[in-house]
Chain A
Amino acid sequence: MSADQHIDNLIAAYALDCLDEDEMIWVSRHLADCARCRAELSAYQQVVDQLPLAVQQRQPPSDLKGKLMEQVNRKDTDTGQESQDFWHRFRGFLRQTAPVWSLASLVVIVLLVASNLILWQQMRGISGQSRADTMRVVALDHTQVAPGATGLIVMSLDGEHGTLVVDHLPRLSEENQYQLWLINNGERDSGGVFSVSKEGYGSVWVNSAQPLADYSAFGVTIEPAGGSPGPTGEKVLGGNL
């Protein structure tokens, strides 16, 4: 769909997050290139933002705040006084050396922007990684195990949730399924197990313990049916956030 063909009949549902996956991907891609539809979306997003106000107000249990604050303060204590002292010293060091860091940061930012621009230019046209104002779409690249396969993770505005959509992945035997891995600091959490249709199409709601935006990379491997505690099979797709 080109930016000339607008999607007025789908934007309200997109703002409400009730589109089915194929339409959601379609709209996400259109929004990345269409300022007019992004403005429409923004107007409907304001409607959605107001809806919680229509809910009948209820008072939470009176002891809930105490439980919350106890948990918060316990977690604080668990981090330990030692590490707190370390961070205070570290912050002091950063403050003292702020001018040097500022200059270094500026150089790094310029380099990052330049490299991102080059990458963006390379990726554009093959719909690699695009981004609308409200959704983030992360492209997954295929490995040699699944040439021609494509994958996208569409993330919500707040980075809390997402859906993985794949296409042209080889169909597996009944003993195996694909498994999505969410990667952060070398740790891999399972994001869901799925199979694909005979055309190689599949999708899965990404189920994660922490917001998706907190992860740095994603991968898809072939695992025994039902999934594994950690990746054991060959990797077919991967990408970085």
Chain B
Amino acid sequence: MDYANLEDEALIRLIANDRSEALSVLYDRYSRLVFSLAFNSVGDMDAAEEITQDVFLRVWKNAHSYRAEKAQVNTWISSITRYRAIDFLRKRSSRLHFKSLSWDDLSPNSVSIEAANPEERTERSLAAQRVRLAVGGLPDEQKQALALAYFFGLTHSEIAEYLEEPLGTIKTRIRLGMQKLRKAFNEDRRSEK
């Protein structure tokens, strides 16, 4: 069986049946995403490596619990990574030493995505470019608030405390940032049709 050409969901089904070859292919496809996301949160290569390994071990152990109707595989894996990294920060109690890595290179040209086939690879790369453009177009204070929430797991009041800004200001920044991203993504979808 040529695992490399299988769709993500087929790989997950095989992983649930203890086929480590499928995990190997899934790793090739998503290890950059997982490692990058982890590194962005924890800002430490060793910790990002530990988190990456842990995320794929969780995928290996919990593949049977994946539900395609709830989320795509890349979303599922990203979500595991995000919360694993936030857990790591909470345990290390180092969230107050955030490095400003969060959106540090939003150049649309620096995107390289692995996928099951060239069409999917192209589609995902284009999607990544669009997301970078949209996030890059946000005002700095909205980007900062979104990054503190997304990468570091801070709540509204924790962000307000960290930035020494009023709670209402932070709520507004998050809401406006998300609204702008939603609008940008919707416009992209419309222009594709």
A144 in contact (CB, < 8 A): no
**What 0/1 readout, one digit per residue, does chain B (17-47) give for beta carbons within 8 Å of chain A?**
0101001100110011111110110000100
Contact A56 B135 (CB under 8 A): no
Say yes or no: A60 contacts B35, CB within 8 Å.
yes
Confirm or deny: A103 has a beta carbon within 8 angstroms of a beta carbon on chain B.
Answer: no
Contacts of B34 in A (CB 8 A): 60
Contact B24 A47 (CB under 8 A): no
Which of chain A's residues have a CB closer than 8 A to the CB of B32? 57-60
Query: How far is A56 from B129 in the complex, measured between Cα atoms in Å?
Result: 11
Judged by DSSP, the binding face of B is helix
Residues of A within 8 A of B156 (CB): 13, 18-20, 23
Interface residues of B in 98-116 (CB under 8 A from A): 101, 103-106, 110-112
Residues from chain A with a CB closer than 8 A to the CB of B155 are: 18-21
Interfacial residues of chain B within 131-157, with CB under 8 A of chain A in the complex: 131-132, 134-136, 146, 149-150, 153-157
The answer, yes or no, to whether A81 is at the interface (CB within 8 Å) is: no
B38 vs chain A, min Cβ distance (A): 9
A45 to B55, CA, bound (A): 21
State how many residues of chain B have any CB contact under 8 Å with chain A: 75
Say whether A99 faces chain B, with CB atoms less than 8 Å apart: no
Flag A47-70 by CB within 8 Å of B: 1 or 0 each: 111111111111111001101110
Is B174 in contact with A53, judged by CB distance below 8 angstroms?
no
Whether B57 is near chain A, meaning CB under 8 Å from some CB there, is yes
Asked if A58 contacts B39 (CB within 8 A), the reply is: yes
Number of A-B contacts (CB under 8 A): 165
For residue A194, CB closer than 8 A to chain B, the reply is no
Task: Determine the distance from Cα of A48 to Cα of B103 in the docked complex, in whole angstroms.
Answer: 14
- Alpha-carbon separation in the docked complex, A228 to B79 (Å): 31
| B174: A residues at CB distance < 8 A | 12-13, 16, 18
**What chain B residues lie within 8 Å of A76 (beta carbons)?**
18, 20
Contacting residues, chain B, for A43 (C-beta < 8 A)? 182
The answer to whether A58 and B103 touch across the interface, beta carbons within 8 angstroms, is: no
Are A60 and B75 interface neighbours, CB within 8 A? no
Tell me whether B175 and A54 are in contact (CB under 8 A). no
Bound Cα distance A160, B82 (Å): 11
Interface membership of B95, Cβ < 8 A: no
Complex contacts, B33 vs chain A, CB 8 Å: 52, 55, 57
Are A57 and B112 touching (Cβ within 8 A)?
Answer: yes
Query: Which B residues are in CB contact (< 8 Å) with A214?
Result: 62, 65
Question: A-side interface residues toward B, CB under 8 Å?
Answer: 9, 12-13, 15-21, 23, 43-44, 46-61, 64-65, 67-69, 71-73, 76, 156-161, 205, 207, 211, 213-214
